[in-house]
Structure 1
Amino acid sequence: MNPARALIVDLPGPDLTLEEGRFLARHSFGGVCLFARNITTPERTARLVRDLRDALGHDALVATDQEGGAVLRRLDVPHPPTPMGLGALRDPEAAREAGAVAARGLLDLGINWNFAPSLDVNVNPGNPVIGERSFGSDPALVAELGVAWALGSEAAGVMSAVKHFPGHGDTQVDSHLDLPTVNKSREALEACEWLPFRAAVRAGVGSVMTAHILYPALDGERPATLSPAVLTGLLRGEWGYDGVVVTDAMDMRAIADRYPGGVGAPLTLTAGADAVLVCGHGELTPHAEHLNAVERALRDGTLAEDRLQEALTRLASAARRFPGTPRPYTAAERERDGAQVRAWARASVTRVGQVPRLSPDAEVLLLTPDQPGVGGPYGDSLGGDELAATLRAYFPRLRHANYSPTDARAARALLDEFPGAPALLATPTRWNLTPVQKELAGLLPARGGIHLALWNPEHARALPLPALVSYGFRPAHLAAVAQALITGEAPGVLPLAAPEVV
């Protein structure tokens, strides 16, 4: 029994160096999670996956986060749609096929575990990390679409990890940065956060990822990832789940600040997790630290051998069920999936307010922020120049100005220079609106301004402008928004509850 098989680790770069290969083989970890820094050309990444399995054994699990929308690791294949964009479609068959699209792009490389989809119910507009990663604010809709997505992925050969159990949708703290607390009763959690996860358990989804969140109604001391009451008492005992339980990354500050040096690893295994996700983001030392902590716990009896064996048995069973044998993603399949992704994007664009149509021959102004920053699970964002280049293909007379978070002068100058031209205010950002964005939005209603909410759909309800919501900033989303500006067709339905009136 090798305790390292319960650890899923990460790597610094796109190739497995000799030193790294020896490190992996010496410890024989259970698998690897790949990030954007690891995924380059298809040939190079496929070779990396082969090298990983040569080092760890061919039952190693190779994982990544290919959620769709903003959280994507492989970008050279059709992009699965944003979950909330699927919520705007309200079509479980589309969700099932979207999961399969994600899987086809991963299994092509030999990746057999996708840490997706998010089954978090987006009931808190101020949530800094979930947002459009959720299918919406209705628990029943999230359950229907999320489970369909997961089963579509698994039918295509890639194990799904529904996350973040028992629910990250009603937090105002990002667990990458600190420990959130959800102060809800068991009854309230059962009616909202837990409903999608219970549906996933009933459907037999292959794995569940834990949340680094404190739920005082269940455990007043330990976050869910480390809580026997949550993982064993609720998930295993009350709900009868027998699939793989994997932690969210243990380097996230909600855990690492409180349980340093890897001591969280034996605690989560004792609590009921089967796989501990350990990310060093370029450093291999954290992997050894977590393994040492597990080995110490085995020696002193705080981690029982039969509990570890149970975890390893589940992981071995998952590897047999999802062996990761590469399945080529053919050109015909990619063409078909790409066309479907574009169709979903057009069908999900949602109108908020009365959005005027624009003529392709019109002079149109575009106002965009400087390249937005990213953080947490996000790897990239949309720059203003890229958006302008895309829209200019539809509006050849488009004129563009970037503005900074603290200075609207460039945008104001463009508005003054073309006082009769309609203006598009784009918000390709996940985070809170800046004072400059609010200032510019106040200038535009009188001149027929339109808000393009290209990432966070809550922004559409926060600014006093008619808006088109795309639920994402990938090429299919941008093309869909441009077409909606011209045709007026925006058939999506906002999958968010109306804001409360105070």
Structure 2
Amino acid sequence: MNFAPTLDVNVNPANPVIGIRSFSEDPELVTDLGVAQIQGYQDQQVMATAKHFPGHGDTDVDSHYGLPIIEKDLETLFEEDIAPFKEAISAGVDAIMPAHIVVPALDDSGLPATLSKPILTDLLRDELGFTGLIVTDSLGMSGANVVPPERVPVEAIKAGVDLLLNPPNVELAYESVLEAVNSGEISESRLDESVSRIVQQKQDQGLFDDPYQHPDGLDVIGNDDHLSQATTIADKSITLVKNDNVLPLQMKDDVLVVGPNIANANMLEEHLNVRGFNTSIAHTADAPTEEDINAAADEAAAHDVVVIVTHSAHLSEQQQQLVTALHSVGKPVIVTAARNPYDVAEFPGVDAYIAAYGNRAISHEAVAKILTGEVNPQGLLPVTIPDHYEFGHGLSYHIDATYMKTFVSQLEKSGRLTDRTVIRTMNVHLSAVDHFEQQERSDKVVQHMNSFLQMIDMFTRSGQINEDVAQVLEAHASEVIESWEEG
């Protein structure tokens, strides 16, 4: 069972808990991608759980630490927040996880959805027709603890919950429910309903006949094909939001990479270094101190370009101060947001801005490819950045023969391309393409770039260039051909 996907529609930039866990601010996009994820899981016999019903996307309070209240009217709730869950139910989602949020338009009792019979039974079961499992979010979160600890599991079951997730005190939860059954507050038939749903799900999954996964099945995890697909997805997701002619980076530049520890800026620095760039790293605390900021500013003065990796800086005044201080040094500043894409709203004057949507190695490598021009960015913003950038905004580089010659030079300087014959042949070929581009001879450009592709294939088969370099050059050449064929 997987407690995913997240079907929250993130319309609030100040949301401290959902953010990139949501697909988008667009209910239709959230629905399409969420249902596809559900179908993907369930096609592979993994139970999916749509969360966090009836929608945690418009909060500015983290339900791990407080109790969010959603002040929306019914029409907006159904059009914006509940719509993806309706489609998930139609698609046969196995389970739904309610949120620890208060929604007065659905239940004016002040109880969170987790403990709300009007939301879980009257709306989710009766009105929307959901017959699968209802599993709580962690009961250790503050948003669930609005009644005494012994009452939380009882009220959840009375509201319509089937499974209690992570009660802080399992023995207390068990004894409290047992006492409620013995006293008649919870009927045995009510428990039987949940047991029946749980058993039915297990039976549908074949867990009674074959409860264990064969060890050989684990070989598929992290296999080369899956890692390759993940890399492609990451490369395509990165969004170049702003570029004042500072990207791609130039090989001659000394690059300082700065960021709070939580952003894993060291991973980006390593991937730039592997690509032959002269780099240094400056770490800061997650909330950079004045000492961190001053030290980073001093370091920035000794470099040509500064790359700052942020992590939800729109919610961190200290990270905002870090970016402002480094920008004031007077060197080009490139910010890459390793979590929520809204950070640029706090420092719109930076020279370039990239939304990476993640702080793991695969995202940092994808950003490094964008920064160095290895990959042409094609990601689009899934949300609006208020007063700055619209939903769907995204920039790309203009790939032409001159761009490709510069990139070949970078490959040579980084040691990724070493055969002098190959380098000379490529440059001669690209110079000819550049000549025809200047003359706007689209037929000649396309003809010569197709020949370039054949040449790359020949050099790859002979072992003069490796597969990774070949794929990059082929992608660039194909973009040149496509742009001239489209006119």
Q: TM-score surpassing 0.5?
A: yes
Structure 2 counterpart of 1:326, which letter?
Answer: Q
Instruction: Specify the alignment match of 1:478 in structure 2.
Output: 364
How far 1:193 sits from its partner (Å)? Answer: 0.5
Instruction: Specify the alignment match of 1:305 in structure 2.
Output: 188
How far 1:192 sits from its partner (Å)? Answer: 0.3
Give yes or no for the alignment of 1:337 onto 2:226. yes
Instruction: Specify the alignment match of 1:121 in structure 2.
Output: 9
1:294–1:500 distance in 2 versus 1, CA, 3 Å:
farther
How far 1:461 sits from its partner (Å)? Answer: 3.4
Instruction: Specify the alignment match of 2:454 in structure 1.
Output: none
Instruction: Specify the alignment match of 2:452 in structure 1.
Output: none
1:332–1:232 distance in 2 versus 1, CA, 3 Å:
closer
8 Å Cα contact 1:433-1:459 kept in structure 2: no
Equivalent of 1:460, from 333, 344, 349?
Answer: 344
How far 1:443 sits from its partner (Å)? Answer: 4.2
Instruction: Specify the alignment match of 2:332 in structure 1.
Output: 448
Report matched runs for 1:46-125 at 5 Å.
Answer: 113-125=1-13
Instruction: Specify the alignment match of 2:142 in structure 1.
Output: 253
Instruction: Specify the alignment match of 2:179 in structure 1.
Output: 296
Instruction: Specify the alignment match of 1:25 in structure 2.
Output: none
Gaps of 5+ in 2: 389-487
Equivalent of 1:191, from 79, 83, 88?
Answer: 79
How far 1:154 sits from its partner (Å)? Answer: 1.1
Equivalent of 2:269, from 365, 384, 388?
Answer: 388
1:247–1:441 distance in 2 versus 1, CA, 3 Å:
same
How many residues matched?
371
1:440–1:278 distance in 2 versus 1, CA, 3 Å:
closer
Higher relative contact order (CA 8 A, sep 6+): 1
Instruction: Specify the alignment match of 1:223 in structure 2.
Output: 112
Distance 1:303 1:430 in 2: 47
Q: Secondary structure at the match of 2:358?
A: coil
Distance 1:428 1:391 in 2: 19
Distance 1:360 1:483 in 2: 13
Gaps of 5+ in 1: 1-112, 281-285, 373-381
Which has the higher mean CA deviation after the structures are superposed, 490-499 or 125-134?
490-499
Q: Deviations over 1:407-427 (max 9, x none)?
A: 211111112223xx0111111
Q: Deviations over 1:155-203 (max 9, x none)?
A: 1111011100001010111111111100111111001000111110111
Structure 2 counterpart of 1:495, which letter?
Answer: P
Structure 1 counterpart of 2:257, which letter?
Answer: L
Structure 2 counterpart of 1:274, which letter?
Answer: D
Distance 1:391 1:246 in 2: 44
Give yes or no for the alignment of 1:241 onto 2:94. no
Identity %: 35
Distance 1:277 1:362 in 2: 52
Equivalent of 2:297, from 389, 408, 412?
Answer: 412
Give yes or no for the alignment of 1:490 onto 2:339. no
Structure 1 counterpart of 2:379, which letter?
Answer: G
Which has the higher mean CA deviation after the structures are superposed, 461-470 or 286-295?
461-470
How far 1:401 sits from its partner (Å)? Answer: 1.6
- TM-score w.r.t. length of structure 2: 0.72
Instruction: Specify the alignment match of 2:386 in structure 1.
Output: 499
- More helix by proportion, 1 or 2? 2
Give yes or no for the alignment of 1:317 onto 2:200. yes
1:386–1:485 distance in 2 versus 1, CA, 3 Å:
closer
